[in-house]
Structure 1
Amino acid sequence: MSGNLPAMSRLFLSACLTAMLGACASAPAPEAPAVPVAEAEPAAPPERAIPAESLYPLLLGEFALRRREYGTALELYTQQASLLRDRGVSAHTTHIAQFMQQERAARESAALWVELEPDNVEANNTYATLLSRVGRTNEALPHLAMVARDQGKANFPILLNRFPELDSEQQRELVDGLEALSAEFPDNPSLLLTRALAYDELQQHQQALDVLARLFDKEPYQYQGLLLEAKLLLEQDRDAPFAHIEEALAANPDDSRLRLQYARLLTRSDIDAARGQFEILSARSPEDGNLLFSLALINHEIGDNLAAKAYLNQLIELGQRSDEAHYYLGRIAEDADDLQAAVEAYMKVSEADSGDFYSAKGRIARILLENGEEDQARALFVNLRQAHPEARERLYALEAEVLSGVGDNDAAMAVLNEALSTLPESSSLRYSRSLLGEKQGNLTLMESDLRAIIAREPDNATALNALGYSLANRTQRYEEARELIERALILEPDEPAILDSMGWVLYRQGNYEDALFYLERAYRAFPDPEVAAHLGEVLWVSGRAEQARAIWGDALLKDPEHEILLSTIQRFDISMLQSAP
């Protein structure tokens, strides 16, 4: 849009200069909306004189556009749009606001534009798009319907952009609106696709498949419909879930976009077939680094490390995704127990702003420590902090994490003490030290560090929860613990870790019924073994032993070595532990 603004300025300025001699026509609508629609021949707007008091602000706005002072231009045009209530000015204001990504201003000016010109396709389309972005989908629907009536095409799927965030009543209202509109447009592919997507969101899978069947009658190989159908069939464990996609690819083998999505879907169920599809794609685009990287990971996963290494080295030669390639070459070498080659590959991961950088350096340090080379591991981190001073905080935390991971908690504590002497305001390092302090049984240090964080950041829900849980779990200061957890829960009411803490402190206070309410919510949101341990314990002491066994059994299948889970089961049900996998 930026390239068009000067042209718009010239058009409007010319019109306004004409007004200085007599009358000025309303500004022409400048450019196409974000979602294109077919252009229609606009009706010539009636000429009318611009009030003298508005002429100067409009000229100022145009000159501001020429100088690229878009904020000033938007402010002036917004004021004049409201005063003049002119459709051309409203349209111009909408486009400037869209260009500046000022969504609220764009919505307000688009609303005025639609009010002034209710049959304008561009105005309705633009306003519907802007409403959908903020979840006002039921307001957007009639404007898209107007577009469909005029042009035959409307981008109905934009109505689902914020669908999961709507409450159940709003979701039902939107689906009802879509169904009502389908009586008017029974064969509209965009509307059919939208209805199928909405049914999928509501977990009404058969309804979604039924609507897709009608969509395919009109467009047999509609891209989004094909992907949705395959997803639904996979979820229902149907036979041949990809048959329709395969038919589409047979009809159009050069459809790389569909083939790529097909390959990604196959990674969930048939890794060998996925590799075959990625190989077809890569053969057609041999220098596409993303395809080469996918092939490397797939071959590594199925154990063909020779092929994986070949693809990774090809990436390095092309200069694409080099850090990731070196990291996975290191992982392959480490798995093969070629530690020297692994370290050499990890050392070549050089971009400090990537996650692979820290993973690679942590693996080097672990290799060194596990081979008794503590001094070299220490020197590694000293050198890294000197080379990357901006990353000191994260590198200190990584060093402590690696040391604790190999069982050297005293050395990890020494690193964190050094780090905090250098970076005393670091909440993340202080939090790490508090966790390590609790692990070592130093509850005084743990509490001191967490309270220091809370003093500086009273709304730090993580610190509030950590202190509350530790007090509930390691002391009898239950009221104090509950107060801290309640504060955290107000800040993050749906966070599973905080729900678990609330359930645990209520259990420690003897309130089993309320404890179960919170623990069950936590487990539904995050079925972690520690949450399972807590939920199972409360179920057990509440006399619901079979439910406790079921929860513990599921958790054991996921993590048979989880320390807290095992210790809980040992306290309550030795026989179950003995029969666990």
Structure 2
Amino acid sequence: MYRFLATACCFALLTACASTDTHEEIAVPAVAASTPEQAPKPAPPIPERPIPADSVYSLILAEFAMRRGDYNTALDAYLEEAPTLGDVGVARHTTHLAQYMRRPEESLEAVQLWLALEPDSVEANNTAASLLAAQQQPLQALPHMAVVARSDVQANFPLLLQGFNQLPPAQQAELVAGLNTLGEEFPDDPALLMTQALIHAEFQQYPQAQAKLDKLFTVDPLQHQALLLEARVRLKQQEQDPFRHIRTVLEAHPEDSRLRLEYAKLLTSTDIVAAREQFEILSAQSPQDADLLLSLALINRENGDDLVARAYLQQMLALNARNDEAHYYLGRIAEDRSEQGEAVRHYQQIGDGRQYLAANQRLGQILIDSGQFEECRDWFASQRLRLPARSEQLYNIEADLLSSGGYLGASREVLNQGISDFPESEALLYARSMVSEQQNDLDLMERDLRTILANDPDNATALNALGYTLTNRTDRHDEALELISRALELDPEEPAILDSMGWVLFRQGRVEESLEYLMRAYAAFPDPEVAAHLGEVLWVSGDHESATRVWQGALLRDPNHPVLLSTLERLGVETHLQTLPGTEAAAEQ
């Protein structure tokens, strides 16, 4: 005979027997006071049943896998045996293990078995509701959420709104109806009222949202999310003072730093000065909070007060807190003040964190712009030695800096070295293909792009790049059309691909079709190169006025764009453009 014993650190320890119901409470008789001669009655024995012989090996395997930290093997074994055993404890622990392993499908499978064995379990229903909501199945989650609410435990109803705006209208309506029905059953449930208010706000039904919030405040006057939602609702309705309720609460509860922080964040999009005041209050309450100091530094930088911003950033360094962010923004401020050497010193002190790559890109740009070519090369080489895990990204940044600075040969040399170290790097192969195109080495460009496509046939960027280059630099237009068409199927709204499609159709003589794609591309992304293409097609089709206006707008944005200027020169329309109002200003720029 065998029995399962559950422990806190090990989800299920296999010993000798299995109980039929590990959740069953055991009644212990009361013992009379001051009667030492009376011994307590023994507890009734736990019902026992044998483990099926076919399950013994798998359960032992799972237990030893758990002990050596091989949780995947343990979970697979429990998932296989749990339905056979039909034991609540095993089903519960299998669910916990699957959740710990962050395997949502297996978690849902295990919790469904748990519910079949223990349908009234609050924990099982709550777990099922959370898992289903996370998988955007709110209608299936709602009945489980209702079980939780009926047990006097606060159900997390707002969780049901994950991905709500992506649901079909019929499912949205069904979910709203279900929530309204529960609202009649639980009229004072704050989480349910909050959920209903959120739905009203989603549908821009602001008076109804406010009504739900008003009712919620009678139950929980300090509910943070409700106060913040109310402020957003009032902002949407363009009320004169949308934050008055939050201010009233903070006046009565000035110590509520969490609400004040959310209020300050909300103010950053509407009133940066008021936001700064709130962050200053928070910082005074917690003077060593580096997060608040950083927020104050960024707000003052946004306001143009770099002196105060620097003071807050220096205070962070003095506290030895969030040093990387402090050095990064001190570097940015130094750049703005044309103190390039100071900026470089700050960037060089940034460690391997979120700011590392951005800092290296800016540092490299300073060195290139100041003519320190060798110093730039040496810096990136030293960084690759210091942080080998960042090498691929550092190769890419260095090559891009060199290419942008006109050092195409050096850029290609860096990329050759990078691809030698990382032969399957799509980023490096793509970067080298672009440099090769600029060097008129179309053979290498095509080989690199086709290498990417051999490993990743659905890479829309590579498909488009190869198709566009074949359109622009060769007469292989049919092949180009096939490549661009595949890219457009993968990413039908990408302006660069729409531009390529319009351009290849134009090269094939399909002028009317090309206009449709180029107009869509230009509307989504009015880039000078797209303007050059659209203007040329309009010009060739005889609509000189529209072509001229497209080119004029592009010149005003970028009067020196090489593709645009070469197009105008090739078509001989530069003189014509200079006679239009506004182009003189563009030419002067």
Q: TM-score scaled by structure 2?
A: 0.79
CA distance in 1 between partners of 2:258 and 2:166 (Å)? 29
CA distance in 2 between partners of 1:292 and 1:514 (Å)? 54
Cα pair 1:533 1:565 within 8 Å, conserved: no
| Partner residue in 2 for 1:405 | 404
CA distance in 2 between partners of 1:99 and 1:422 (Å)? 37
Stretch deviating more after TM superposition (234-243 or 56-65): 56-65
Cα pair 1:86 1:116 within 8 Å, conserved: yes
Secondary structure in 2 matching 1:279: helix
Assess, with a 3 A threshold, how the Cα gap between structure 1 residues 314 and 551 changes in structure 2: closer, same or farther: farther
Stretch deviating more after TM superposition (455-464 or 279-288): 455-464
Cα pair 2:290 2:316 within 8 Å, conserved: yes
Give matches, 1:39-58, under 5 Å: 50-53=49-52, 56=56
| Partner residue in 2 for 1:37 | none
1:499-541 CA-to-partner distances (Å, cap 9, x unmatched) read: 5544554565537569747964x788x6564697489769968
More helix per residue: 1
Matched, 1:364 2:363: yes
Secondary structure in 2 matching 1:26: coil
Give matches, 1:527-538, under 5 Å: 527=525, 529=527, 533=531
Cα pair 2:148 2:154 within 8 Å, conserved: yes
State the Cα distance separating 1:79 from its structure 2 match.
3.8
Cα pair 1:178 1:191 within 8 Å, conserved: yes
Unaligned ranges ≥5, structure 2: 1-5, 26-42
Letter in 2 for 1:28: H
Matched, 1:112 2:113: yes
CA distance in 1 between partners of 2:482 and 2:468 (Å)? 11
| Partner residue in 2 for 1:464 | 463
For these two proteins, the number of residue pairs brought into alignment is 553
CA distance in 1 between partners of 2:286 and 2:229 (Å)? 26
Secondary structure in 2 matching 1:429: helix
Assess, with a 3 A threshold, how the Cα gap between structure 1 residues 302 and 364 changes in structure 2: closer, same or farther: same
CA distance in 2 between partners of 1:159 and 1:101 (Å)? 20
| Partner residue in 2 for 1:35 | none
State the Cα distance separating 1:56 from its structure 2 match.
4.1
State the Cα distance separating 1:155 from its structure 2 match.
0.8
Assess, with a 3 A threshold, how the Cα gap between structure 1 residues 466 and 164 changes in structure 2: closer, same or farther: farther
| Partner residue in 1 for 2:23 | 28
| Partner residue in 1 for 2:250 | 249
Assess, with a 3 A threshold, how the Cα gap between structure 1 residues 344 and 153 changes in structure 2: closer, same or farther: closer
Letter in 1 for 2:225: Q
State the Cα distance separating 1:468 from its structure 2 match.
1.9
CA distance in 1 between partners of 2:466 and 2:65 (Å)? 55
| Partner residue in 2 for 1:218 | 219
State the Cα distance separating 1:464 from its structure 2 match.
1.4
CA distance in 2 between partners of 1:174 and 1:210 (Å)? 20
| Partner residue in 1 for 2:174 | 173
CA distance in 2 between partners of 1:294 and 1:472 (Å)? 49
Stretch deviating more after TM superposition (123-132 or 466-475): 466-475
Letter in 2 for 1:369: I
| Partner residue in 2 for 1:99 | 100
Letter in 1 for 2:483: L
| Partner residue in 2 for 1:286 | 287
Assess, with a 3 A threshold, how the Cα gap between structure 1 residues 516 and 347 changes in structure 2: closer, same or farther: same
| Partner residue in 2 for 1:451 | 450
Give matches, 1:63-102, under 5 Å: 70-102=71-103
Letter in 1 for 2:172: Q
Cα pair 1:107 1:130 within 8 Å, conserved: yes
Letter in 2 for 1:27: T
Assess, with a 3 A threshold, how the Cα gap between structure 1 residues 205 and 361 changes in structure 2: closer, same or farther: same
1:206-259 CA-to-partner distances (Å, cap 9, x unmatched) read: 554443344334333321122223234334543222222222212221111111
CA distance in 2 between partners of 1:97 and 1:45 (Å)? 33
Letter in 1 for 2:23: P
Matched, 1:160 2:155: no
Secondary structure in 2 matching 1:307: helix
Letter in 2 for 1:328: Y
Secondary structure in 1 matching 2:241: coil
Cα pair 2:535 2:548 within 8 Å, conserved: no
Assess, with a 3 A threshold, how the Cα gap between structure 1 residues 501 and 46 changes in structure 2: closer, same or farther: farther
Assess, with a 3 A threshold, how the Cα gap between structure 1 residues 496 and 218 changes in structure 2: closer, same or farther: farther
| Partner residue in 1 for 2:272 | 271
| Partner residue in 2 for 1:486 | 485
Letter in 2 for 1:241: P
State the Cα distance separating 1:29 from its structure 2 match.
7.8
Unaligned ranges ≥5, structure 1: 31-43
Stretch deviating more after TM superposition (53-62 or 327-336): 53-62
Give matches, 1:269-348, under 5 Å: 269-348=270-349
CA distance in 1 between partners of 2:362 and 2:514 (Å)? 44
CA distance in 1 between partners of 2:423 and 2:59 (Å)? 55
Letter in 2 for 1:195: Q
CA distance in 2 between partners of 1:182 and 1:554 (Å)? 56
Secondary structure in 1 matching 2:102: coil
Secondary structure in 2 matching 1:269: coil
Assess, with a 3 A threshold, how the Cα gap between structure 1 residues 27 and 359 changes in structure 2: closer, same or farther: same
CA distance in 2 between partners of 1:552 and 1:199 (Å)? 46
CA distance in 2 between partners of 1:555 and 1:188 (Å)? 57
Letter in 1 for 2:369: E
Stretch deviating more after TM superposition (50-59 or 374-383): 50-59
State the Cα distance separating 1:460 from its structure 2 match.
2.8
Cα pair 1:461 1:489 within 8 Å, conserved: yes
State the Cα distance separating 1:292 from its structure 2 match.
1.3
Cα pair 2:419 2:428 within 8 Å, conserved: yes
Assess, with a 3 A threshold, how the Cα gap between structure 1 residues 151 and 340 changes in structure 2: closer, same or farther: same
CA distance in 2 between partners of 1:300 and 1:113 (Å)? 55
| Partner residue in 1 for 2:195 | 194
| Partner residue in 2 for 1:127 | 128
| Partner residue in 2 for 1:396 | 395
Give matches, 1:471-550, under 5 Å: 471-492=470-491, 497-498=496-497, 501-502=500-501, 505-506=504-505, 510=510, 512=512, 516=516, 520=520, 527=525, 529=527, 533=531
CA distance in 2 between partners of 1:94 and 1:131 (Å)? 14
| Partner residue in 1 for 2:38 | none
| Partner residue in 2 for 1:41 | none
| Partner residue in 1 for 2:8 | 5
Assess, with a 3 A threshold, how the Cα gap between structure 1 residues 482 and 245 changes in structure 2: closer, same or farther: farther
Assess, with a 3 A threshold, how the Cα gap between structure 1 residues 538 and 117 changes in structure 2: closer, same or farther: farther
Q: Calculate the aligned-residue CA RMSD, in Å.
A: 4.3
CA distance in 2 between partners of 1:500 and 1:196 (Å)? 44
Matched, 1:229 2:224: no
CA distance in 1 between partners of 2:157 and 2:342 (Å)? 54
Assess, with a 3 A threshold, how the Cα gap between structure 1 residues 29 and 391 changes in structure 2: closer, same or farther: farther
Cα pair 1:70 1:100 within 8 Å, conserved: yes
State the Cα distance separating 1:188 from its structure 2 match.
2.1
Cα pair 2:532 2:564 within 8 Å, conserved: no
Assess, with a 3 A threshold, how the Cα gap between structure 1 residues 295 and 426 changes in structure 2: closer, same or farther: same
Cα pair 2:501 2:514 within 8 Å, conserved: no
CA distance in 1 between partners of 2:208 and 2:582 (Å)? 44
Assess, with a 3 A threshold, how the Cα gap between structure 1 residues 490 and 173 changes in structure 2: closer, same or farther: farther
Q: TM-score scaled by structure 1?
A: 0.80
State the Cα distance separating 1:446 from its structure 2 match.
3.1
Secondary structure in 1 matching 2:8: helix
Letter in 2 for 1:469: Y
Cα pair 1:532 1:552 within 8 Å, conserved: no
Assess, with a 3 A threshold, how the Cα gap between structure 1 residues 398 and 8 changes in structure 2: closer, same or farther: closer
State the Cα distance separating 1:280 from its structure 2 match.
1.3
Cα pair 1:6 1:65 within 8 Å, conserved: no
